[in-house]
Amino acid sequence: MAGEGPTAGSPTAGSPVAGSPVAENPVAGSPVVENPVAENPVVDAPAPRTPAPPPSPAPPPFWPLLLLGAAVLPGVVVFLLGRWGDAPAVQAWRTVCLAVTVQALPFLVLGTALSGAINAFVPESVFRRVLPRRPALAVPVAGVAGVVLPGCECASVPVAGSLISRGVTPAAAFAFLLSAPAVNPVVLTATAIAFPGNPAMVLARLLASLATAVVMGWLWLRFGRAEWLRPAARHTGHRAGHSRWEEFRRGFQHDFLHAGGFLVVGAMAAATFNVTVPGSVLDTFSASPWLSVLFLAALAIVLAVCSEADAFLAASLTGFPPVARLAFMVVGPMVDLKLIALQAGTFGRAFAVRFSAATAVVAVACSALTAGVLL
């Protein structure tokens, strides 16, 4: 009928057809699109399952005996030390062990501090600019660089490890490791004081030590294998956004604690030899020139005297020929018990055994050749 409104359910002009995507808007005359999400609700994903806690480890077998041993063993050790601690041999062992450790500790601190500083503050590009690109030429340059760093073998090991971690070829780092404790100004000055009026001994020590370092670097280039060298995992270089002083502190702490334990082990071994070997053995070997060279080379390895002090000990061995005393001063800063322990802890046992044995042979040969020309 005219004038009547639309009947229920009948579409009007401009009104949406039932089932169409356009629904009536409360505001007159403005259509709106229905939300398709409302018609197709999303099914919630299942919540992730919380992993079950790992089962607690089973106690080790015979754990009551282990617990009893942990409770009794410290008391037994304290009792034995108190019972035999006043014996002359034990007192001598304790004195030598403490002396070797205290003598080397300042230089270990110097070396680990220098290692941390290299790691945190020195860009890797510096080493590429200073050292020649050819490894065969980088070896003698690194050997000569040891002249400018006062320190002993305890300081050179962490520094060499840091150099390798910064991209320096291992052969050059090992040449520096061997030359730095033997040809630096402090050691040469101490040698001149220990041998007054004998500049030939100072020159012989410089040339024999430098020749040994360079030869060992070249030998590593020719025969060294990567699997023998396993440096400890550590951060290398400065990371953007991190404090350099904090990186220095962490690197110093890591290297000092890592190397300090091996220093103590080497000092204990050196003290044991000092106490157990009688002094009469020295007189037996001093009569033969070649046996005296081998004996003093072996003595330098086990005594583990710091390179700043070994010249005075060599000067006191007046019963031995000059070539033997030179071998003592050349071998000692490059191969001794605490140095072998430090190398094993830093680069791996496989490296330390091979490298130390080869260094001892080369050092004795270079000492004999240099003494034959200068002494």
Mean pLDDT of 222-243: 64
Distance CA 202, CA 217 (A): 23
Question: At 66, is the pLDDT very low, low, confident or very high (cuts 50, 70, 90)?
Answer: low
In terms of pLDDT, which residue wins out, 66 or 221?
221
Q: How far apart are alpha carbons 24 and 203 in whole angstroms?
A: 105
Tokens of 51: 């992993």
Query: Is the per-residue pLDDT at 69 higher than 70?
Result: no
For 353-362, what is the mean pLDDT? 93
**Position with higher pLDDT, 101 vs 111:** 101
Residue, of 331 and 126, whose pLDDT is higher:
331
Pull the structure tokens for residue 301: 């390895």
- Whole-model pTM: value is 0.62
Distance separating the N- and C-terminal Cα atoms of the chain = 138
- CA-to-CA distance for 208 and 104, rounded, in angstroms? 23
d(C-alpha 257, C-alpha 252), whole Å: 8
Tens-place pLDDT, residues 118-165: 667 766 566 667 788 888 999 999 888 877 765 566 667 877 887 787
Helix, strand or coil for residue 325? helix
More confident residue, 84 or 162: 162
Read off the pLDDT of each residue in 334-363 and give the average, rounded to a whole number: 88
Comparison of pLDDT for 246 and 19, the residue scoring more: 246
Give the amino acid at 118.
Answer: I
CB atoms within 10 A of CB 375: 16
pLDDT band at 23 (very low <50, low <70, confident <90, very high): very low
The 10 Å Cβ neighbour count of residue 46 is: 6
Confidence band, pLDDT 50/70/90 cuts, at residue 24: very low
- Averaged over 311-316, what is the pLDDT? 81
As beta bridge partners, residue 33 has: 22
Please answer whether residues 244 and 73 qualify as being in contact, where contact means their C-beta atoms are separated by less than 8 angstroms.
no
Q: How many C-beta atoms surround the C-beta of residue 334 within 10 A?
A: 27
Q: Greater confidence, 342 or 203?
A: 203
Contact (Cβ atoms closer than 8 angstroms) between residue 230 and residue 350: yes
pLDDT at 103 over 90: no
Angle at 355 between CA 349 and CA 361, to 5 degrees: 140
Q: Which of 343, 298, 291, 296 is nearest to 318 (CA)?
A: 296
C-alpha 259/C-alpha 109 separation (Å) is: 10
Contact (CB, 8 A) for 288 and 318? no
- Model confidence over 236-294: pLDDT tens digits? 444 555 677 877 787 777 667 766 776 677 677 767 766 776 767 767 787 788 889 99
CA–CA separation, 280 and 172 (whole Å): 42
- What would you report as the CA-atom Rg of the chain, rounded to the nearest whole angstrom? 36
DSSP letters for 271-322: HHHHHHS-THHHHHHTTSHHHHHHHHHHHHHHH---TTTHHHHHHH-TTS-H
pLDDT, residue 234, reads 46
More confident residue, 5 or 51: 51
Distance from C-alpha of 155 to C-alpha of 175, rounded to nearest angstrom: 14
pLDDT at residue number 318:
78
Ramachandran bin of 143, using left for φ above 0, alpha for ψ from -120 to 50, beta for the remaining angles: alpha
Highest mean pLDDT among 194-198, 212-216, 235-239, 349-353: 212-216
Alpha helices in the chain (DSSP H): 36-39, 63-84, 88-121, 124-130, 135-145, 153-165, 170-183, 185-194, 199-223, 244-276, 280-285, 289-303, 310-316, 322-331, 337-347, 349-374
- Per-residue pLDDT at 228 exceeds 60: yes
State what percent of residues in the chain have pLDDT above 90: 18
What rounded mean pLDDT belongs to the chain?
74
Q: Which pLDDT value is given to residue 12?
A: 47
